[in-house]
Amino acid sequence: MDRRELFGAVGVLGTGMACGTATAAPHGGKPGDGPLGGPHLHFCGIHMAKADPKIQFVTQHYCAAHTGGADGDVFQCVLFDGTGKNAKLVGVEYLISDAAYRKLPDAEKKFWHAHTYEVLGGGLVAPGMDPKDEMAFMKVVLTTWGKAWHTWPNPATAVPVGEPMLIWSLMADGQVDEKVLKARDKEFGVDTNKIREARVKEIGLEVPKVSLPKNPDAVGRQWTDGGEDKPTPKK
């Protein structure tokens, strides 16, 4: 993934980006140094446990790019259960390009989920971002793959307990918990159906139809359950 492409989609100083808290770096550097000192992006999605699709969360992503890797940049995200100052840090997610994903060994691919439905179906939103910038950003995210673990698998507990939970993505209509979706739309004042309609029209592709994983070892697909895994142009 090209950092210039990713950040250029919204502009280095565009709406929806923010700077990390200006605290002194542990090595004695000036305020703003360190991995949290640069610009980052905020977007919101609905996460689903791969082992149990009935477990779904609205998850806030705060992300920045790690650059210079042999297979392109890695978009690194810290995950929270809310946007407030006292939100719980529930996990991490890494985003890589489709080209980088294709190079992974088969045994590794089972940990990575596609973002095609999240983008085209309207499940992924960037609150506060200008609509044009958000559309450009979503076009970049569309074919990326994510590896996400919730290290605080049940935010209702007082402290993080239990094993990390591998996260999967919603990949077809009928998979989302409608209560979770409605709560997300209400919180951020968005309409998933209108977002979906606008993105399908702009991107020119039909929404994917991929079934839920049959088991934890299932490897994800981007567009279809069988045959060549490629998109269908909008009719």
Indicate whether 154 belongs to any domain: yes
Separate counts of helices (H) and strands (E) for the chain: 7, 8
Query: By C-alpha distance, which of 138, 126, 112, 110 is closest to 9?
Result: 138
User: Taking each helix axis from N to C terminus, what angle separates 192-203 and 131-141, rounded to the nearest 10 degrees?
Assistant: 70
Which three-class secondary structure state does DSSP give residue 113? strand
Q: What's the CA gap between 17 and 130, in Å, rounded?
A: 11
Q: Which two tokens stand for residue 47?
A: 């996460």
Whether 234 is in a domain gets the answer: no
In a domain, 1, yes or no: no
Asked if the structure places residue 182 within a domain, the reply is yes
What gap in Å lies between CA 118 and CA 156, rounded to an integer? 25
Polymer length of the chain: 235
Q: How far apart are CA 140 and CA 6, in angstroms?
A: 6
- Residue 64 domain-assigned? yes
Is 25 part of any domain?
A: no
pLDDT, one tens digit for every residue, the chain (235 residues) = 444 555 444 333 233 333 233 333 445 556 566 776 777 899 999 999 999 999 999 999 999 988 888 888 899 999 999 999 999 999 999 999 999 999 999 999 999 999 999 999 999 999 989 999 999 999 999 999 999 999 999 999 999 999 999 999 999 999 999 999 999 999 999 999 999 999 999 999 999 999 999 999 999 999 999 999 999 999 8
Domains in the chain: how many in total? Answer: 1
Please give the model's pTM, rounded to 2 decimal places.
0.88
- Specify if 13 maps to a domain: no
Domain with 96, as residue range(s), is 39-203
Q: What values do phi and psi take at 140, rounded to 5?
A: -75, -40
Sign of the CA dihedral running 14, 17, 18, 20: negative
Considering the domain boundaries, does residue 230 fall inside one?
no
